[in-house]
Amino acid sequence: MASGRSNFSIRHQPGFTTVAVLCFALLYLPIVTLVVFAFNAGRSVAIWEGFSLRWFEAAWNNERVIEASIRSVQIASVAAVVATIAATMAALATTRTRPYRGLTFKYAFINQPLMIPEIVTAVALLIVFARIKVATGYSGLGYLIVAHTAFCIPFAYLPIRARLESMDLTLETAAADLYATPWKVFTRVTLPLLWPGIIAGLMLAFVISLDDVVITEFVKSGGQDTLPTYMLGQLRRLVTPEMNAISTVFLLISILIVTVFFFISRRST
């Protein structure tokens, strides 16, 4: 074909621009509004009464917010690290092997948590953990950490497996040829090349855990609110711009994580 004009281009179809603008507006306008009203001087989340940082200050001085934030980060850190290690091993086991009968089934099995409705998992965990609690008497953060780790694994698994599949296997053969023991092949060649995938998996798992409401709400014991479940509880009672302020900080942290990840992955390719 001689010119680009003769190719099919979705951008030149009638209505495309309207749909695109509408989608972006629906996505981003509420978030912009939310951020704007975090800086409202009044108590309303709908009527602008002037600029102020009072709600950030209020959130910062709210012990329960800080406590829930710390708990969220604790759970997310442990869950993300453990899930990423498990996902890395799973990805190595499912890609560094000749295809065999049942491999597809295994992929599905690992990714199952992505397909099962979260509420079902939540109820199931609630029932199982309740029994264990009665049997052992333990009611610490362990349950939340285990639950978060479990549902984070498929998220960590996806980018790691993608990276492994795009990796040239002859590099590992070449390392073995150059006197590297299997362990050295792994630490000196496979792992460094896999690193961007692992970082991606880790961050994805971290964000997913930080964000979870449904499973946490079901599994947590009394006084184990994470930031999202705390916010949900507050919103049921009264809505003040303090929620906007917390959400804004949450948003900033997410953007920061994504940006850091972007630079890490760009540097290594």
Partner 1 sequence: MPETPERNAIEVRGVSKVFGFGPDKVVALDDVHVAIRENEFFTLLGPSGCGKTTLLRLIAGFDFPTDGEILLHGQDIAPLPPHKRPVNTVFQSYALFPHLTVAKNISFGLEMLGRPKDEVDARVDEMLKLVRMEELRNRSTAQISGGQQQRVALARALAPQPKVLLLDEPLSALDYKLRKEMQIELKRLQHETGITFIFVTHDQEEALTMSARIAVMSAGNILQIGSPEAIYDRPAVRFVADFIGETNFLEGSIEERAAGGARVRISSGAVIDASVAEGFQPSGRVTVVVRPEHARLSAEGGQLAGRLSNIVYFGTDTHFHVELDGGGEFIVRRQNARDDRGTARIGDPVSIVIGAGAAQVLRD
Residue numbers at the binding site for partner 1 (CB under 8 A): 168, 170-171, 173-182, 184, 188-189, 192-193, 268
Q: State the amino acid at position 212 in one-letter form.
A: D
Nearer to partner 1, 23 or 178 (CB): 178
Alpha-helical runs (H) found in the chain: 16-38, 54-61, 63-95, 103-115, 118-136, 142-166, 169-177, 182-185, 191-211, 214-219, 227-237, 241-267
Q: Residue 97 or 170: which CB sits closer to partner 1?
A: 170
SS3 for 43-70 is CCCCCCCCECCHHHHHHHHCHHHHHHHH
Instruction: Assess contact for 190 and 198: CB atoms under 8 A.
Output: no
- Least Å from the CB of residue 180 to partner 1: 5
Integer Cα distance of 15 and 5 in angstroms: 18
Q: Write down the least CB distance from residue 168 to partner 1, Å.
A: 7
For partner 1, which is the closer residue by CB, 63 or 177? Answer: 177
In whole angstroms, how close is the CB of 170 to partner 1 at the nearest point? Answer: 4
CA distance 175 to 189: 7
Q: How far is the CB of 189 from partner 1 (least distance, A)?
A: 6
Give whichever of 58 and 193 is closer to partner 1, judged by the CB atom: 193
Nearer to partner 1 by C-beta: 172 or 225? 172
> In this structure, are residues 185 and 172 in contact, taking their beta carbons and an 8 Å threshold?
yes
* Nearer of residues 54 and 184 to partner 1, judged by Cβ: 184
- Closest distance to partner 1 from the beta carbon of 160 (Å): 17
Q: How far is the CB of 186 from partner 1 (least distance, A)?
A: 12
Which sign does the torsion angle of CA 143, 144, 145, 151 carry? positive
Shortest distance (Å) from residue 81 CB to partner 1: 23
Cα 254 to Cα 23, 74, 120, 206, 261, distances in angstroms: 21, 16, 27, 10, 11
Q: How far apart are CA 155 and CA 199, in angstroms?
A: 12
172 or 212, CB closer to partner 1? 172
Coil, strand or helix: which one is 177? helix
Contact 98, 255 (CB under 8 A): no
In the complex, least distance from residue 35 CB atom to partner 1, rounded to whole angstroms: 40
Residue (178 or 256) nearer to partner 1, CB: 178
